[in-house]
Structure 1
């Protein structure tokens, strides 16, 4: 505000005008600073990050007539994982975040990926997709080159594409439904060409509906890993009549993210073997 000379008086209207002018300058700055403070850093995304923010947290899963096999998924923010404790609790399979975009690799990948294998688990790797940074083919190649490959050793699951809410910006990464479907197809086709396996798709039904128009064309080949923190997995995305895996909580024992495989251990092994 300008400094008034001695003896100068301001009318109430003039004071109000000056105050509003000052607020108009400071509010945008404060808003920008708040947004910067709350935005996560690139590379910090992980499975279920958007589920908590958009779908919330609900009750524990109910029992099912189909035998389920317990699993976990982990990422760099969880550091060194106590795999022996998880094995003792009944966990038999695990997925580890390997990459994000084409700018991040998990610094704990070796301990997490090899550690689960060494205690006897069937393990796999996943990629957190950022469709607004590079093409699906480019990200699939980066994933395969940095831990996302596959080998028929009976203990390695096909890679998983984690495609969900954008933690860094617009929900659908600025893409139309058709463009998003094209990006996903680009990733899946490249991954299969590089590894010989169809990748698993991890997603949430509400995001899939919003950002792909509930596209059903991947269901014939790509196993579904559904994310929903509730007593049941809910309505599945179009095309899939059943889920292969279900992430049902982010607050489980030892590590937060726990999952069930829709079948007994021999079915987990069958997916590993292709």
Structure 2
């Protein structure tokens, strides 16, 4: 049954260019690293134990409603992605409150756009996103914008009716438009399965776009082609924090460096 655009699809879901980090080694590791589709749901499991080299976080949408930010902070969440838009018409009615609530509690936060390659061009969707929450500021508290690429929850074709080369062009146009408007290339949220099926395993984004990989298991597993490491990992759709459970693949200082841009 098709899901409402007012909630985040939960079927086969959900790297990065970290500029000017402390050392070239750290930069190279984080560069080499989006979210997964939900039609072929990721394997369920628990994430790894917390460590100095990773920072717990979450992602939320209208589906989570009013978020207990104090509780999430007390339980260790230090960053969040908030759904802002979908297609060219939908704006999450909870985005302003959620985005501000995350900021007020002290989290580093970013906005994401749910891609609808079946409904309109990439440049139009990117402009809608940037105009309604997807902008970026160098305040050290704002993550790069993110593009959610996952199995089509509204129809049988996981790839939204687009061929692989056409999908790569759509993603490239979205990324280029966001970078032109904000100064940051967006993180790409996807699964290895969706990326292989819908882009043919394209490798051209690994050096420019942070990877937010979705895999509900004990490890991120084999990453989408083009990335040798992930920046964000969504490992479960419920747990300690509201919404989806995530890790940032690095230290808190590296997370702040990514936000600073």
- CA RMSD in angstroms, aligned pairs only: 1.4
Deviations 1:230-268 (A, max 9, x none): 000000011111000000000112413010000111111
SS at match of 1:153: coil
Q: Which residue in the other structure is 2:2 paired with?
A: 39
Displacement of 1:66 in angstroms is 6.2
Q: What is the TM-score when the length of structure 1 is the normalising length? A: 0.83
What is the aligned partner in structure 2 of residue 143 from structure 1? 129
Matched with 1:29 is none
Tell whether 2:185 aligns with 1:198. Answer: yes
1:229 to 216, 222, 226: 216
Equivalence map 1:64-103=2 (5 Å): 67-103=53-89
- The higher relative CO (CA closer than 8 Å, separation ≥ 6) is in 2
1:58 aligns with 2:58: no
Question: Could you say which residue in structure 2 is the equivalent of 1:13?
Answer: none
Q: Does 1:238 align with 2:229?
A: no
Q: Is the 8 A contact 1:43 1:103 kept in 2?
A: no
Match for residue 158 of structure 2? 171
1:7-58: CA deviations, max 9, x gaps? xxxxxxxxxxxxxxxxxxxxxxxxxxxxxxx222234334x54334313442
Deviation at 1:111, TM superposition (A): 1.3
For residue 65 of structure 1, report the CA deviation from its aligned partner.
6.9
User: How many aligned residue pairs are there?
Assistant: 236
Gaps of 5+ in 2: 14-37
How far does residue 128 in structure 1 lie from its aligned partner after superposition? Answer: 0.1
Q: Following the alignment from structure 1 to structure 2, what is the Cα–Cα distance between the partners of residues 66 and 205?
A: 26
Which deviations, in whole Å up to 9, do the C-alpha atoms of 1:94-148 show, x marking residues without a partner? 0100000012100001111010010000000000000010111110000000000
Write the distance in 1 (CA, Å) between the matches of 2:223 and 2:83: 24
Question: How do 1:247-258 and structure 2 match up within 5 A?
Answer: 247-258=234-245
User: If the length of structure 2 is used for normalisation, what is the TM-score?
Assistant: 0.87
* Unmatched 5+ stretches in structure 1: 1-37
Tell whether 2:247 aligns with 1:260: yes
Q: Find the counterpart in structure 2 of residue 107 from structure 1.
A: 93
Distance in structure 1 (CA, Å) of the matches to 2:251 and 2:241 = 22
For the 8 Å contact 1:66–1:262, the answer to whether it is kept is no
Residues 262, 181 of structure 1: CA spacing in aligned structure 2 closer, same or farther, 3 A cutoff?
same
Distance (whole Å) between structure 2 residues aligned to residue 65 and residue 105 of structure 1: 36
Bigger proportion of residues as helix: 1
Q: Residue 247 of structure 1 aligns to a residue in which SS?
A: strand
Give the C-alpha shift of residue 60 in structure 1. 1.2
User: Aligned equivalents of 1:209 and 1:43: distance in 2?
Assistant: 28
Distance in 2 between residues matched to 1:80 and 1:232, nearest whole Å: 30
Q: CA deviation at 1:213?
A: 0.2
